[in-house]
Structures are given as C-alpha cells and as structure tokens.
Amino acid sequence: MVKPPFDIDDLFPATLKPLTLGLLEENARLVSENGALRDEIARLKGLKGKPDIKPPSKPSGMDKATDKRPRREGKRRRGPKKPSGVVEERRIAVDGVPPGSRFKGTERFTVQELKIEAHTVCYRRERWVTLDGVTMLAARPDGVADHFGPALKRFILAQYHQGQTPA
C-alpha cells in the first residue's frame, strides 16, 4: 500500500474538506475516463456498445390533461353477436308443472361449439377373375385418387399456409 504524502493525524477539519472535495472530483473524472476506455476497448474488439435508448415520444399525462380538445375514450359498445353457421334449436320442457299454470313463452340460451370429426369411407371394390385369367377390379369413384379426401386436403393446406403449422 502506498503511504500518503502527508500524515493523516495532523490534518485539521479545515484542510480535510478541500482535500475530500478534490478526491471526489478526481474519483468522478477517473470513473468517466474508465467508462470511456471500456467503450473504446469494446469498439476496437468489435463488440456491441451501450444501446442508444431514446426517451419515449408519447405525451405525458400532463400533456393529455392540458389538451384543449376532449378525446372520446373507450370503444363503442356493440350488441350481442348473432350466431353464424347452422343453428340447431332444441326445446327443453319443464318437468312437474303443477296443473293450472300458464305458459309464458321460452327463453333463449345460445351455446356455440366447434365440431371437428373424422369421417372414414371404406370402398369395397369388387375383384373378378375372368375365364382367361385376367383380373378385373372396380374403378374408384370420381374425385377419389388417393387415401385422403378433398376436405382433409383443404384443411391441411389451410393449416400449413394460413395457420403456419409445420408439416
């Protein structure tokens, strides 16, 4: 450890204050110089430096409060959404209605559901062997070329291209 150029015990409070201020200024200068040297080393090594973060450009709450024209807040309220597609209606009766009660109508309660189901068709193609030994096989129906139906092919292509689902 380096010995200071003066004896610390001989210092008075009047001389300690300017000495402390000088040391604090020198410390701040060395810290900023150290940061600049670190940035220079990082630049020379090709590393990324500190990001240039800009302050937000949105107006603050005070700017909004002093704005002269009032703004409409929130979205316009919409009514209930009508169901799309096929609507299946089921009527549910009340059990145990006492005699003399009057019917007052029905109340709607809509439930939406997604229905995806597999539909497999097994074609049993006839196979015949003629007298000459030639095998005859019934032709496939129109539109059937392989083991996947057109609706399944459309669904897979839509998922691949629009749903970004990998194969």
| Cα(40)–Cα(32) distance, integer angstroms | 12
Please report, for residues 29, 75, 82, 160, 166, the alpha-carbon distance to residue 78 in angstroms, rounded to integers and kept in the order given: 63, 9, 11, 34, 37
Cβ pair 83, 112 in contact under 8 A: yes
Placement of tokens 């909004």 in the chain: 64
Q: What is the pTM of this model?
A: 0.33
Distant-in-sequence, close-in-space partners of 42: CB < 8 Å, separation ≥ 6: 48, 49
For 39-52, how does the pLDDT look when each residue is reduced to its tens digit (9 = 90+)? 888 888 888 767 78
For 101-150, how does the pLDDT look when each residue is reduced to its tens digit (9 = 90+)? 998 998 888 877 777 888 888 889 899 999 999 999 999 888 888 888 88
Residue 161: its H or E element? helix 150-161
- Give the pLDDT score at 30: 97
For 3-14, how does the pLDDT look when each residue is reduced to its tens digit (9 = 90+)? 766 777 777 778
Placement of tokens 């005859």 in the chain: 136
| DSSP, res 68 | S
Query: Shortest CA distance to 89 belongs to which of 107, 104, 102, 103?
Result: 107
- Phi, psi (5° rounding) for residue 129? -115, 125
- Phi, psi (5° rounding) for residue 136? -110, 135
- Give the pLDDT score at 48: 77
Cβ pair 98, 108 in contact under 8 A: no
Please report, for residues 21, 25, 98, 137, 139, the alpha-carbon distance to residue 17 in angstroms, rounded to integers and kept in the order given: 6, 12, 99, 109, 106
Domain ranges across the chain? 12-45
- Phi, psi (5° rounding) for residue 79? -80, 180
- Give the pLDDT score at 56: 74
pLDDT at 89 > cutoff 90? no
